[in-house]
Amino acid sequence: MYRGRHRTGSRERQQALRTSEFDYELPRELIAQTPIEPRDASRLLVVDRAHRRLEHRQFSDLANLLCPGDLLVANESRVIPARLFARKVPTGGAVEMLLLKQHSPLMWEVLLKPGRRVKPGARLAIGSAPGSSEGTNRSQLPVDGVFAEVISKTEAGGRLLEFSVPIKPMLSELGIVPLPPYIRTPLQDPERYQTIYSRTSGSVAAPTAGLHFTDRLLAGLGERGVHVAFVTLHVSMDTFRPVQEENIEQHDMHSEYCQLPMETSVAINRARLEGRRVIAVGTTSVRVLETAGMRLHAGEELLAFSGRTNLFVRPGHEFRVVQAMITNFHLPRSTLLMLVTAFTGKDLLDRSYEEAIRERYRFYSFGDAMLIV
């Protein structure tokens, strides 16, 4: 039967960890620059917490590693073409922007590059994306008179912009899908930075644990008796930005939109009642499930919800829903690395990362994966 809440790291709860303890050295050549083909050909490091054992497999082995009745919960959010190109008015200086969070049809929180000299009150003329028929020349005129005014700076170092027209319906023609800054190789097919089950647009980065799934693998999981359900979390900058404070307790986790649909909450409640495992696909799914679980008490059912979450899962967190997870290898000093540490305990995760580096696993968005059971 379902054994309830899972605690890790009693020592880590007693003494606040420092951000520097989540740092590690990674050879640059292990940062994956291109996606592997097919998607499920990536490697999979299986981390057995109970026996503190590591096993090297392929992601295509996943169906054989899971049990009939297991419930996978994945994030179906889709990455939007959030990278836009503009010129300052009247100087003409080139500016790139990354849309982070929509506050209203006209108001967006963004990152600007270069942004240091773009002050409140500045006006930006939005142009076509480079490579499009209108955007081959970066000095092009604004598209249909689309402008944005810088309203203010944000605490996170970005800018709040007010556009002259709703920009979201125009992103398919003006923007491109953003890649993380550590990926320097252009992506030939933008769909390769989307999961095959992505549906609801809103993320500025992919929920990368899901990039390994193929239609063939999902079919094999179904034949094995493994169930799949979906949640939504629109990934924003706060999911992956490095923690700046040395005491992780002082990190301010900004909010992101998420949704736990009714059909998924029903599937989870049924799995819990029948003693079947709930396995989160990716840290974003973990945050949705654990946000819902924060109000869960013994004997209660998980309730559907939609709204924003600023849940910061770190060592000492009491896991109420997630019993296993699939995740990629994460950046040093990131909240994602802290979340996975909370699930495994620090010693085991340190050993797992050391093993992955020694065995030349591929890291980050297009890299290999872990199955933590």
- Percent share of the chain, pLDDT over 70: 91
Q: What is the mean pLDDT of the chain?
A: 90
Q: Do domains 6-79+189-372 and 83-174 have the same CATH topology?
A: no
pLDDT value, residue 2: 33
pLDDT > 70? residue 240 = no
Residue 139's pLDDT is what?
Answer: 42
Identify the pLDDT of residue 63: 97
E strand spans, 27-183: 43-48, 53-58, 71-75, 77-79, 83-89, 94-102, 107-113, 123-127, 147-153, 159-163
Beta-sheet strands, E only, within 239-332? 256-260, 278-281, 305-309, 318-319, 324-328
Confidence at residue 24, expressed as pLDDT on a 0 to 100 scale: 96
- CA torsion 202-204-205-207 (nearest 10°) is -20
pLDDT at 298: 65
Per-residue pLDDT at 296? 80
- Give the whole-number percent of the chain exceeding pLDDT 90: 79
pLDDT of residue 305: 95
Higher pLDDT, 16 or 329: 329
How far is the C-alpha of 19 from the C-alpha of 249, rounded, in Å?
Answer: 9
Q: Quote the pLDDT of residue 236.
A: 87
Residue 9 above 70 pLDDT?
Answer: no
Pairing mode of beta strands 83-89, 123-127:
antiparallel
In the predicted model, what is the mean pLDDT of residues 296-318? 90
| Nearest Cα to Cα of residue 167 among 154, 190, 191, 148 | 148
Looking at domain 6-79+189-372, its CATH superfamily turns out to be: QueA-like (3.40.1780.10)
Backbone angles phi, psi at 16, to 5 degrees: -60, 135
**Rounded (to 5) percent helix, strand, coil in the chain:** 30, 30, 45
Per residue in 120-152, pLDDT tens? 999 999 988 775 444 444 444 456 679 999 999
pLDDT tens column, 358-371: 999 999 999 999 99
Closest CA to 76 of 183, 198, 188: 198
Where does the pLDDT of residue 11 fall: very low under 50, low under 70, confident under 90, or very high at 90 and above? very low
Is pLDDT of 330 > 80? yes
Domain ranges of the chain: 6-79+189-372, 83-174
Backbone angles phi, psi at 278, to 5 degrees: -105, 120
Please determine, for residue 58, whether its predicted confidence score (pLDDT) is greater than 80: yes
Is residue 331 a contact partner of residue 337, using CB atoms and an 8 Å limit? Answer: yes
Q: Residue 145 class from Cβ within 10 Å (0-12 exposed, 13-18 middle, 19+ buried)? A: exposed
Max mean pLDDT among 45-59, 84-98, 232-246, 250-264 falls in: 45-59
Select 83-174's CATH number: 2.40.110.10, 3.30.230.10, 3.40.50.1000, 2.40.10.240.
2.40.10.240
What is the CA 13 to chain-centroid distance, rounded? 25
Distance CA 203, CA 136 (A): 26
Is residue 13 within 8 Å of residue 343, measured between CB atoms? Answer: no
